[in-house]
Structure 1
Amino acid sequence: MKLLTRTTLIYLLYASVVAGAGTFVYFEVIHKLYYGYVDRTLSRRKLRVLKALRLYLHSPADLAYWHQLDHNVEFVPLPTLPARQPDRIGQRIMYNELTGKVQPYRQLAAPITFQGRPYELQIRLSLLDTQGLLWRMALTGVGLFGVLGLGMLGLQVVLNRRLWQPFYYLLNQLQKYKLNRSQPITLPPTQVREFRELYEAVQLLLRQNQRVYRHQKEFSENAAHEIQTPLAILRAQLDLLVQAPGLTEEQAGYIERMMSVTHRLTHLTKSLLLLAQLDSQLYFPTELVDMAGVVRAQLVQLQDQLSARGITLTTSLAASVPLRMHRVLLEVLVSNLLVNAIRHNHTNGQLAVTLTTSSLTIENTGRAQSLLDTGLFERMRTAPDSPAESVGLGLTLVQQICTHCGLPLRYTYTEPGRHHQQVLFG
């Protein structure tokens, strides 16, 4: 959800709560004000009636005639006059002869004396139109809130398209930004100070990251050159030493171990350099690669290792699985998964490779324990039963490549001692 949309929704929620509660408060306030006005009107009318009784009316028949002329004024005879009873104002439901309906009235009742006889003076005002008026006022308030809400939503759309346009333009550039390409980041003209400050902070951050990236790239290139060259010389000298005449069996054993260490160091160096490139988010150009062809080629190369350990291989490979990816990264991914499944397998164990259009699954027998507890994807972490030539970076590279290429990687363990590595495609 966009920030402006979220802010607008919060404002609308607050406004709806205030409007909902305010409608009832508004109704009650108007209700009290109007009833106060009605009560004052009844009190003033009572004074006019009392004045008319003193000046213009002379007999009880005049009282009945007055009631016939105005049904809202009535004189009810009383047996005795109450002692100092105050005026009573309240609600009364009566039948209205003019409308033919039962409707509410506001009534004032006061004891009076006319020509020595006690009466109760009842003065009434109809409330039928009043209720309708109050409800219409409340509905008008609800309608105004509806107009306010629609106006805020419309304003939010306009602000999204105009006021926030520089922000989304900058965000779009950052989403496409690559450190190794060094494309410039621009900001459209804007009067919003926060956007300009954000742009300046982004520019500073990118300059710092580009400087760190250049230094790390130079270090990786220098390390690749400076380390690989002496290693190549060392391997060549060891090859010449093996071919030297008069070499004893004991000396050959020492040389073989030195060559094994040299091979392991070469593999470790290449893995570390590749990890450094992946950590730096270097751009690896992609191409359409057949995953099935890569898997078959890697299985052929590892056939000697499978035979040496007596591992039974079972495959179920789709005819062709095209995948857009960097070929070298894909080969490293598949090779490391297969090599890991062989190294951590039992002698005379089992290895199953399943390739579909949606995933690559490698299942192998091994330790009767989940490898997640042993730091499976941590760098330089190897299991106790790992071979000596293992450098502890195989699955770390697999995880880094999957993360870099957006391929979900899953590991599961099932009894008895079966380990599953699965790479999902898209």
Structure 2
Amino acid sequence: MKLSSRYNRVNLVISLLVLLLTGIIYYFLIHLILNAKLDKDLEVEEEEIIRYAAIYKKLPLPGNYLDQQVSFKELHPADTGIREFKNTVYKNEPEHVVEPGRGLVTSLDLNGKTYEVTIIKSRLESEGLVRMILLITLAVTGLLLFTLFVINRFILSQLWKPFYAVLDQMKSFNLVKSHQLQFKKGEVDEFDELFDSANLMALRVQQDYKELKNFTDSAAHEMMTPLAIIRSKLDTLLQTGEFNDKQYGLLDDVYRAINRTSRLNQSLLLLTKIENKQLPESKIYPMHDLLQEKARQFEELFEKKNLRLDLDINPTSLVMSRYLADIFFNNLLSNAVRHNYQGGRVWVKSSGDFILIGNTGRSEELDEKHFQRFYKAADSEGTGLGLAICLEISVQYGYKFTYEMIDGNHTFKLFNPASL
């Protein structure tokens, strides 16, 4: 959820709750005020009745007087007089309807007797006024919420435009192109600070990238040169004379160590370039042609280990560098041969949705640590970087790369994103 949408939702919810709570409080306050006014009118009527009884020594006639009812009832001598205000009903005799009313029940002593005096006034006009006020309040609340929604939706979205401009440029930022982020200063200080910080960060990242690239290129050259010299000197040494079996064994160990160091150096440099997106140019490449080519290249290795190769290759194209695709499938097929047993089987299948490479081999199922750098079996002659490179290539291109053990066989799949 976007920040503006989140803010709008929270703002509207809080505003609605506050306005509803305020409306409820306002409604009851109006009720209290109107009831207090009616109570004042009832007290005035009570004073008039008391004054009339004091002057004329008798009670006024009961009856209806302008939305008002007055009634008297003689109390038993044992009864005590009371005085209270209460909500009750008012019987509108002319219109034969019952309306809400407000009443005052009090007592009056006259000629040695105690009378209960009941005065009731209609609350119909007050209730109508309260309802009208409530409707006006709801209308104002709705108008205010609508106004807030419009302001948050359109005006605030304009205020947030600079932020989204920064976000879009950061998404499209490319280290290889080495271009600066272009921002326009605005009227909001916080956005200006964000622009400056983003630009400074981009410059630092580009500088670090250049330094790392230079280091990678220098390391590739500086490491390969001594290895090439050592290999050349060994070749020269072998041509200088005869050696016994022990000496040949020692020289063979040196050759193996040099070759392994060379492969390790190349693999580490490749991983560094992939992680830093120093990838060769990518295009839509027909992977079925590459798989057929790889099958021919590995034919001698399959025959040497008496492995059966089953091919089910259909037209499949992926967006990938030809160089990295070659490394990807070369690593998987090398593992399929290296970790297979004599007389085993390797199968390759491709379709529009995925590419599958499977092989027989050890019954041990691979887990996450086998895809980590430098992890390998104790008797393995590899560098321990093959699967790590395959995983890194798939991640960089956004492809799904999976492993399963099915019926004791190892199966690797590379999925076409269009099929997911």
Relative to the length of structure 2, the TM-score reads 0.88
Partners in 1 of 2:346 and 2:147 — Cα distance? 65
2:387 maps to amino acid: L
CA shift, 1:391, in A, is 0.5
Instruction: Please give the secondary structure, in 1, of the residue aligned with 2:403.
Output: strand
Report the equivalent of 2:44.
44
Query: Residue 310 of structure 2 contacts residue 348 of structure 2 at CA under 8 Å; is this kept in 1?
Result: yes
Describe how 1:259-278 pairs up with structure 2 within 5 A: 259-278=255-274
Which whole-Å CA distance do the structure 2 matches of 1:315 and 1:90 have between them? 96
Partner of 2:396: 404
Give the equivalent residue in structure 2 for 1:63.
61
Where structure 1 has 5 or more consecutive residues not aligned to the other structure, the ranges are: none
Say yes or no: does 1:377 pair with 2:371. yes
75-84 vs 104-113, which deviates more?
75-84
Q: Indicate the larger mover: 114-123 or 287-296.
A: 114-123
Residue equivalent to 2:181? 185
**SS of equivalent to 1:376:** helix
For residue 117 of structure 1, report the CA deviation from its aligned partner. Answer: 6.0
Aligned residues: 417
Q: How far 1:234 sits from its partner (Å)?
A: 3.9
Moved more, 10-19 or 109-118: 109-118
In the alignment, the residues of structure 2 paired with residue 366 and residue 31 of structure 1 have an alpha-carbon distance, to the nearest angstrom, of 87
Aligned partner (choices 186, 203, 207) of residue 207 of structure 1: 203
**Aligned partners of 1:368 and 1:299: how far apart in 2?**
24
Task: Give the AA of the match of 1:337.
Answer: L
Of 91-100 and 248-257, the range deviating more from structure 2: 248-257
**Structure 2 counterparts to residues 347-386 of structure 1, below 5 A:** 347-372=342-367, 375-386=369-380
Map 1:73-222; keep pairs closer than 5 Å.
73-80=69-76, 85-113=81-109, 118-222=114-218
Secondary structure in 2 matching 1:403: helix
Q: Post-superposition shift, 1:128?
A: 3.0
Cα offsets for 1:366-422 (capped at 9, x unmatched)? 33333216x112111112342x2x0011111111111211112222334x5333322
Change (3 A) 1:269 1:79: closer
Deviation at 1:107, TM superposition (A): 0.8
Q: Does 1:300 align with 2:296?
A: yes
- Rate the CA distance shift 1:129–1:420 in 2: closer, same or farther, 3 A: farther
Q: CA deviation at 1:81?
A: 5.9
Relative to structure 1, is the Cα distance of residues 143 and 360 closer, same or farther in structure 2, using a 3 angstrom cutoff?
farther
Aligned to 1:346: 341
Change (3 A) 1:159 1:75: closer
Specify the alignment match of 1:288 in structure 2: 284
Give the Cα–Cα distance (whole angstroms) in 1 for the partners of residues 352 and 78 of structure 2. Answer: 100
Tell me, in whole angstroms, the C-alpha distance in 2 between the residues paired with 1:215 and 1:76: 104
Report the more deviating stretch, 183-192 or 202-211.
202-211
Tell me the percent identity: 26
CA distance in 1, matches of 2:36, 2:114: 28
Contact 1:365–1:417 (8 Å) recurs in 2: yes
Give the Cα separation in 1 of the matches to 2:16 and 2:290. Answer: 61
1:241 deviation in Å?
5.5
The 3-state SS of whatever aligns with 1:162 is helix
The AA in structure 2 aligned to 1:399 is: L
Match of 1:321 among 312, 316, 324: 316
Cα offset, 1:217, TM superposition: 0.9
